[in-house]
Structure 1
Amino acid sequence: MRASLPILASLASVTSAARFLLQIPITHVVNPSALSSTTHATLQSSGAPLDAYLTRSNTFNFNNVSAGSYLATVHCRDYAFEPLRIDVSIEEPVEGSGDKKEVIRAWQTFLGNEWDNKGESRGEGGNGLVIEARPVGQKQFYQERAGFSPLSFLKSPMILMALFSGLLMFGMPKLMENMDPEMKAEMEEMQKNGVLGSGTTNTAQQIQNFDLASWMAGKTDSGANSRAESPAPRRR
């Protein structure tokens, strides 16, 4: 019976559970005293999640936490908090002593990444460890209407096209004035001969005078002119 007492004590130490606190620090981002009463934190692992609500001391108290690896998440209506990885293990401070204690370690973690991808350490210790749950920022549910911005106005494609057209309109005469006299004479000669400008004008006029109904009926202006110019048959 006396020999069984150390064994029972060791079993009690092995099956004992850990306890720790998640504390929201006072920062310029959030005032913990102003958070809603529905703010709570959860510890999630392979089993059922553990839940704790925010106390007056701005902490979440977790008791009877068994050994394992947990994801700690703070659920708040107005603010977002960084997720934490919390590992609870039972270790011997001195090897061979037989005295086992709970060891709690906390790290920053990242959602969507591998579980072994740990960030900065958020604390390590025994029972009663206080771990900071740092806020990331305020949640935005509505997108604010953007005000007038001259830069975005100038980036509009229509405005850029109008500015380019105006630049050509007022800049081409200046270029023509500063052009070499011989080249300027050649340009004027080409304009007179219809090489520049007239071809585009004639094409535009042909498109405007195009008769779709006559074309579908097989009638053309040349055919009509040829029939009009053909001589009338002679009477016998």
Structure 2
Amino acid sequence: MKLQLLGISAILFSTCLCLDLTGHVQWNDICPNYRVLGPAKVVLDAGKYSARITRNGNFSIPDVDPGIYALSVTSHDYIFDQFRVDVVDSTSPPHVRSHILGTPLISATSAFLRYPIVLVPRHKNNYFTPRESFNLLGMFQNPMVMIMVLTGVMMLGMPYIMKHLDPQTLEELKSQQGKIASIHNSIQNGDVKSGLSALLAAEEESKASVASGRAPGNGTTIQQRKAGRGSRRR
């Protein structure tokens, strides 16, 4: 009998300490009414206590034991602020503070918020990603497209450039193209030795042409220096 009385008294004592946590949703331009909000629930400590939001925006979580809780709203389309709620007993109102998800409940801010709790919709979730439209400027910013465009411009402009070249330069260009084509064909046919020899011969010819081009210039400069010295002696 005494044990039953003790159990009943403990239940009554805990019931006296429990608190009904209440609040409401403050409608705004992001979420104007319950029809737009849809089914939503206010939870403490990820579901330890919970209550649904009614059509008029109110909620009431019954029989909340004394303690420190993290209050959040589970909604499919909207994001709300989170709070830290300190429940002391049923006679005094709880202490409500703002809370950031992931931070410990011990590090609370010193600023208290009003009670009953006011829930404000802050952001609407957007699950639809629009398809990207065709962007001509963005396509030309691609390096591969730029290389293709430059190659096409060079191919179109090459006949015009070849037409305005002098005959000597044109002959040299054609001979170089023929040598490159012969080297390429020999390498493709498997005759690597002849291809390398042709490549070395082309390099020697280019060096010889450069040396022959420099020789007359050197001779003229030497002759000019001798003529200058002779004029000074006179």
**Contact 2:23/2:58 (8 A) holds in 1:** yes
For 2:113, the equivalent position in structure 1 comes to: 123
* Counterparts of 2:109 and 2:163, CA distance in 1: 69
**Contact 1:82/1:108 (8 A) holds in 2:** no
For 1:70, the equivalent position in structure 2 comes to: 69
* Counterparts of 1:118 and 1:174, CA distance in 2: 77
| 1:193-215 Cα shifts (integer Å, max 9, x gaps) | 53xx344322322244349xxx9
For 1:81, the equivalent position in structure 2 comes to: 79
For 1:57, the equivalent position in structure 2 comes to: 56
Check 1:14–1:139 CA distance in 2 against 1; reply closer, same or farther (3 A cut): same
**Contact 1:105/1:124 (8 A) holds in 2:** yes
For 2:181, the equivalent position in structure 1 comes to: 201
For 2:24, the equivalent position in structure 1 comes to: 23
**Contact 1:73/1:81 (8 A) holds in 2:** no
Equivalenced residues, count: 183
For 1:101, the equivalent position in structure 2 comes to: 92
For residue 113 of structure 2, give the secondary structure of its aligned residue in structure 1.
strand
Deviation of 1:155 (Å):
3.2
* Counterparts of 1:117 and 1:189, CA distance in 2: 84
For 1:226, the equivalent position in structure 2 comes to: none
**Contact 1:69/1:85 (8 A) holds in 2:** no
For 2:213, the equivalent position in structure 1 comes to: none
* Counterparts of 1:31 and 1:60, CA distance in 2: 17
* Counterparts of 1:138 and 1:50, CA distance in 2: 25
For 1:164, the equivalent position in structure 2 comes to: 150
**Contact 2:24/2:117 (8 A) holds in 1:** yes
* Counterparts of 2:107 and 2:29, CA distance in 1: 28
TM-score with structure 1 setting the length: 0.57
* Counterparts of 1:124 and 1:30, CA distance in 2: 21
> Gaps (5+ residues) in structure 1?
1-11, 92-99, 222-236
Deviation of 1:50 (Å):
0.7
**Contact 2:80/2:119 (8 A) holds in 1:** no
| 1:104-128 Cα shifts (integer Å, max 9, x gaps) | 2130413x44445668968234xxx
For 1:138, the equivalent position in structure 2 comes to: 125
* Counterparts of 2:182 and 2:163, CA distance in 1: 28
* Counterparts of 1:36 and 1:74, CA distance in 2: 12
Letter in 1 for 2:25: I
CA RMSD of aligned residues (A): 4.4
* Counterparts of 1:201 and 1:124, CA distance in 2: 86
For residue 70 of structure 1, give the secondary structure of its aligned residue in structure 2.
strand
Check 1:186–1:86 CA distance in 2 against 1; reply closer, same or farther (3 A cut): farther
Check 1:39–1:151 CA distance in 2 against 1; reply closer, same or farther (3 A cut): same
Check 1:90–1:117 CA distance in 2 against 1; reply closer, same or farther (3 A cut): closer
Letter in 1 for 2:135: S
Instruction: Using the aligned pairs only, state the percent identity.
Output: 15
Which structure's residues are more often helix, by fraction?
2
For residue 146 of structure 1, give the secondary structure of its aligned residue in structure 2.
coil
What are the within-5 Å matches in structure 2 for residues 26-41 of structure 1?
A: 26-35=27-36, 38-41=39-42
Letter in 1 for 2:113: G
Check 1:68–1:190 CA distance in 2 against 1; reply closer, same or farther (3 A cut): farther
For 2:5, the equivalent position in structure 1 comes to: none
**Contact 1:16/1:66 (8 A) holds in 2:** yes
Letter in 1 for 2:65: S
**Contact 1:87/1:104 (8 A) holds in 2:** yes
* Counterparts of 1:108 and 1:68, CA distance in 2: 16
* Counterparts of 2:87 and 2:21, CA distance in 1: 13
TM-score with structure 2 setting the length: 0.57
Deviation of 1:134 (Å):
2.3
